Chain A
Amino acid sequence: MLTYLSDIILAFIVAIGFAVLFQTPTRVLHVAGLLGGLGHCIRFSLLSHDIGIIPATLAGTVFIGLFGIVLSHKVHTPPVVFTMPACITMIPGLFAYRAMLGCLKITDLEHARTHPETVTVTAHYFVLTACLLFTLAIGICIGALLFRKRSSKSLFKRIF
Chain B
Amino acid sequence: MPRPDPEIFEHATASTCRVADLLLDIGTVLLQSGAHCGRITRNLERIAETWGYEMELFITFTGLMVSIKNARHPDERVARFQRCPHHGVHFGIVTETSILTWQVAEKNIPISEVETRFAKIKTLPHHPRWAILLAVGLACGCLCILAGGNWLNGLVAFTAAFIGLAVRQEVLKLRFNPMIAVIAAAFTTTMIAGIDMTMQLGHSPEKTFATSVLYLIPGVPLINSTIDLIEGRFPTAIARAVFGSFILLCIAVGMSLAILLLGIQNF
Bound state CA distance, A93 and B213, in angstroms?
Answer: 8
Q: Cβ of B226 < 8 Å from any Cβ of A? A: yes
> CB distance B256 to A144 under 8 Å?
no
Pick from A16, A108, A134: contact of B139, CB under 8 Å: A16
Q: Cβ of B181 < 8 Å from any Cβ of A? A: no
A21-B132, A98-B210, A101-B259 known, 15 other contacts, Cβ within 8 Å: A10-B142, A10-B145, A13-B138, A17-B139, A18-B219, A20-B131, A21-B89, A22-B220, A25-B96, A84-B223, A94-B210, A94-B211, A103-B252, A133-B222, A137-B227
> CB distance A78 to B34 under 8 Å?
no
> CB distance B210 to A11 under 8 Å?
no
B interface secondary structure, majority: helix
Nearest residue, chain A, Cβ from B41 = A149
> CB distance A20 to B136 under 8 Å?
yes
Write out, one digit per residue, whether chain B residues 91-121 have a CB within 8 A of any chain A CB (1) or not (0).
1111110110010000000000000000000
**Which of under 10, 10 to 19, 20 to 34, or 35 or more describes the interface residues of A?**
35 or more
Task: Tell me the chain A residues, 99-137 only, with Cβ under 8 Å from chain B.
Answer: 100-101, 103-105, 108, 133-134, 136-137
Pick from A81, A100, A133: contact of B91, CB under 8 Å: A81
A-B contact pairs, 17 of them (CB 8 A): A7-B146, A18-B215, A19-B91, A20-B127, A21-B139, A77-B98, A78-B39, A84-B91, A84-B220, A93-B211, A94-B210, A94-B211, A97-B255, A101-B267, A137-B223, A137-B225, A137-B226
Task: Tell me the chain B residues, 30-56 only, with Cβ under 8 Å from chain A.
Answer: 34-36, 38-39, 42
For A133, the chain B residues whose CB sits under 8 A away are: 222
Q: Cβ of B147 < 8 Å from any Cβ of A? A: yes
The CB with the most chain B CB atoms within 10 A, among A40, A87, A96, is that of: A96
> CB distance B230 to A80 under 8 Å?
no
For B259, the chain A residues whose CB sits under 8 A away are: 101, 104
For A42, the chain B residues whose CB sits under 8 A away are: none
Write out, one digit per residue, whether chain A residues 1-35 have a CB within 8 A of any chain B CB (1) or not (0).
00000010011011111111111111010000000
Q: Cβ of B8 < 8 Å from any Cβ of A? A: no
Q: Cβ of A71 < 8 Å from any Cβ of B? A: no
Known contacts being A17-B139, A93-B143, A100-B256, is A138 close to B39, with CB within 8 Å? no
Bound state CA distance, A24 and B260, in angstroms?
Answer: 37
For B145, the chain A residues whose CB sits under 8 A away are: 10
Q: Cβ of A159 < 8 Å from any Cβ of B? A: no
Q: Cβ of A141 < 8 Å from any Cβ of B? A: yes
Task: Tell me the chain B residues, 208-259 only, with Cβ under 8 Å from chain A.
Answer: 209-211, 213-215, 217, 219-220, 222-223, 225-227, 230-231, 248, 252, 255-256, 259
B6–chain A nearest beta-carbon distance, Å: 42
Bound state CA distance, A1 and B120, in angstroms?
Answer: 47
For B207, the chain A residues whose CB sits under 8 A away are: 94
Pick from B126, B143, B213: contact of A23, CB under 8 Å: B126
